[in-house]
Amino acid sequence: MRRHSRPALAAALASAFLAAPALAQEGDPVAGEKAFRKCAACHSIEPGAPSKIGPNLHDVVGRVTGTFEGFKYSDAMTKAGQEGHVWTVEELNIYLENPKTAMPGNKMTFVGVKKPEERADLIAYLVSLNPAGARRQRPPRPTDPSPA
């Protein structure tokens, strides 16, 4: 019996891990707008609005990390962007669960969004603010064919 419990546990953990990105893409933007109220104290979302305590998140999905004009990022965020980190749906899901663990050294003091459904809704809301940004989640690599 004990022999079966480890594979079952491994399968359950793998299933939860693999479901997170799919869940993020299936969130409810209306519920996400409500969830964003916690974020609004530190982040603006209007196009062109200045940053608050945190950067403007209007087109965060698809943005290279640490690049919003005029915001003073932590060294960790700046370095991540210089190394090519992009805020994809998947990366936001990981980061928003526990910002300090996902990117040690960042300045965000928020402890994270622990409920997967709430994270999915929040990310769906951020995607809804700028759907074009979500389509450009990763810039083409030099070996990728140019989009027509």
Phi-psi region of 66 (alpha: psi -120 to 50; beta: other; left: phi over 0): left
Distance, CA of 47 to CA of 63 (rounded, Å): 14
| Predicted pLDDT of residue 25 | 55
| Predicted pLDDT of residue 112 | 96
* Residue 114 pLDDT greater than 50, yes or no: yes
- pLDDT (tens digit per residue) in 122-147: 999 999 998 776 665 544 444 444 45
Crossing angle between the packed helical segments 2-25 and 89-97, to the nearest 10 degrees: 120
Q: Quick one: 128 exposed, middle or buried, by C-beta within 10 A (0-12, 13-18, 19+)?
A: middle
Query: Domain 19-135 falls in which CATH fold?
Result: Cytochrome Bc1 Complex; Chain D, domain 2 (1.10.760)
| Predicted pLDDT of residue 26 | 83
Q: Which residue has the higher pLDDT, 56 or 136?
A: 56
Q: Give the mean model confidence (pLDDT) for residues 92-111.
A: 96
* Residue 110 pLDDT greater than 60, yes or no: yes
Percent of the chain at pLDDT exceeding 90: 68
Percent of the chain at pLDDT exceeding 70: 72
Mean pLDDT of the chain: 81
- Name the residue ranges covered by the structural domains of the chain: 19-135
